[in-house]
Every structure is written in C-alpha cells, then in structure tokens.
Amino acid sequence: METQRYIIGKRDEKGFYPVKVCAIAAGTIHRRHGSWYATMPGHPVERAADRDQAAALLVARVDQGDRPTIPAPAPVTPATRIHGLRATRSYSHLMPSLRLSLANLVRSAEATARLAQLGWTPLEGYPGADQPWLMECRLCGWKGRRFWSHLRGRNGDNTPRPITRHPGCIPVADHAAALITLAAERARECGCERKHPTWISEALDALAAIQTALDGKAFMSAAIYSRSIVEPCPASTRRAEVLRAALTRRTNALKNLKNQ
C-alpha cells in the first residue's frame, strides 16, 4: 500500500486547508461550488473531484520540482475590483468571488433577506452557498463565519443548523422572542436614503441597468447599480421577492424572443 505523502491541516476561517508534502508547505486546497481546487502560490489553480485528489495535485507539483512562489501584485483595475472587497468600503456587500451576474445578485438579495429573518447581519458580500460567510449574530453580537447552506437548511428542511447558532449564543429557548423583537425592524417599503427596489417595475429597471452596464463592460457602473440590490435594507424581504419575480419575467421574455 502506498504511503500517503501529504498532510491536510485545519481549515482556516476562509475555507482553505493548508497542505504539507514531505514536510514542505506546498499550498492549500479548498472546496468551492461542488468542486475542489489545489493552489500552490505562484502557479495555476487546478481543479479536482475531491480533497484527496486536490492534495495529490500538490504532491505531483512538488515531485516535478515546483515550489510556492510569491507572485508580483497584479494591477488593480475596475474590472477586478468590483468582484471583491478590494474596492472601497462603499462596495463591501458585493460578492467577493462570484461572477457579477443578475442571477448571482438575486441569490445574494434572497440570502441577505433570509439572514435578516434569522437574526444575522452579513459583514461582507454573499460568497455562495457552500463558502464561509462573515456575519454577525444579532442576538448576542458574536462575529464569525457561517455557511449559508447550513443556515438556509437542506433537502427541503428549512431549519437552520445548528439550532444553537454558535458557541456562546443566548439560550435556544430565548431565540424566538429575540427574533420577534428584531422582526419589528423590517418593513415592506424602502425608507433608505438610497432607494432600493421594492416594486416589480423598479426591480426590472435595476436589472436592466446592471445588464446594460455589464454588456458594455462598464464594470464600475455595474457595481454601483448593484448596490441597490445587495445593500442592507429594512425591506430586504420584499426586495428579494420582487427581484426574483423580475428576473423570472426577464428570463421568460428573452426565451420568447429566441423562439420567435
């Protein structure tokens, strides 16, 4: 039996596992959207089917003489800034790694709305369902990373897990009363200084403006327009509802045009 030559370390708060190959710090592996990836700094990221295959890719790199290197910092342009927290604090709720698209923006709005119902405040942009997301517990002030896929429930069960929320939170018996108190903050209409869409017509206009900017490669404009979708708002539940309806209407209209 072949001896395993790699050691996978403990996952960090951003979801990366350090990997050592024969005592050499070879890089990291991580899972994103159903696939695993191996990263050796200074070399291309490689995709794998599972964590062991990802670690094996790092073993192969070490065997062929590759070693981690620190690449020169890439120039920062509007096209790269809008995808992450590297922009300005004004854009802190943009998605840190997901492609900026209408579908991802609507998913972000839906996740943000559900977090408000569950007593959580996101502290960064929506990273996707299976990536750790930095957020704050409204019940006690705890800050840390949770997985949206755990909070939304799985396989048709909408019960967030774990029931205890996180270590050190208030007793489970007090959760319901605390969430009822927080629910009083939510509204059906946006009262923010910067208007957020809460009607179908407004949602259609917002999506059209973003897509037009993306089609024209006006990435900074797209990021600015996207703020109306991803920023916190007391009417986040209604905003998510109208955005989903608007996206469905827009998608159906495009399909009908193609079929004509």
Three-state SS sequence of 60-81: HHHHCCCCCCCCCCCCCCHHHH
97 phi, psi to nearest 5 deg: -140, -15
Give the side-chain half-sphere CA count within 13 A for 103: 4
pLDDT at 4: 84
CA gap 250, 255 in Å, rounded: 9
Predicted pLDDT of residue 70? 66
Tokens of 234: 């007391």
Q: Where is mean pLDDT largest: 5-19, 47-61, 70-84, 233-247?
A: 233-247
Q: Is the pLDDT of residue 131 over 50?
A: yes
Better pLDDT: 88 or 118: 118
- pLDDT tens for 68-112 read 886 555 444 443 333 333 333 445 677 777 788 999 999 999 999
Identity of the residue numbered 237: T
Please name the helix (run of DSSP H) or strand (run of DSSP E) that holds residue 35, with its range, or none.
strand 35-39
Query: Residue 6 forms beta bridges with which residues?
Result: 21
What is the pLDDT at residue 72? 52
Residue type, 207: L
Task: Provide CB contacts within 8 A for 241, sequence distance 6+.
Answer: none
Predicted model pTM = 0.71
pLDDT(153) > 80: no
Neighbour order of strands in the sheet with 35-39:
6-8, 16-21, 24-32, 35-39, 46-48
Nearest-Å Rg of the Cα atoms of the chain is 21
Mean pLDDT of the chain: 86
Q: What are the boundaries of each domain within the chain?
A: 6-63, 79-259
Convert the pLDDT of each residue in 43-54 to its tens digit.
Answer: 888 989 899 999
Greater confidence, 246 or 96? 246
Mean pLDDT of 146-170: 85
Q: Over the stretch 175-231, which tens digit does the pLDDT of each residue have?
A: 999 999 999 999 999 989 889 999 999 999 999 999 999 999 888 888 889 989 998
| Confidence check: pLDDT of 24 > 80 | yes
Preceding peptide of 78 cis, ω within 30°? no
Residue 173 pLDDT class (50, 70, 90 cuts): very high
What element of type H or E holds 48? strand 46-48
Question: CA neighbours within 13 Å on the CB side: how many for 50?
Answer: 1
pLDDT of 2 reads 57
- CB of 178 closer than 8 Å to CB of 170: yes
At residue 15, the pLDDT reads 83
Per-residue model confidence (pLDDT) at position 45: 87
Residue 111: Cβ-neighbour burial (10 angstroms; 0-12, 13-18, 19+): buried
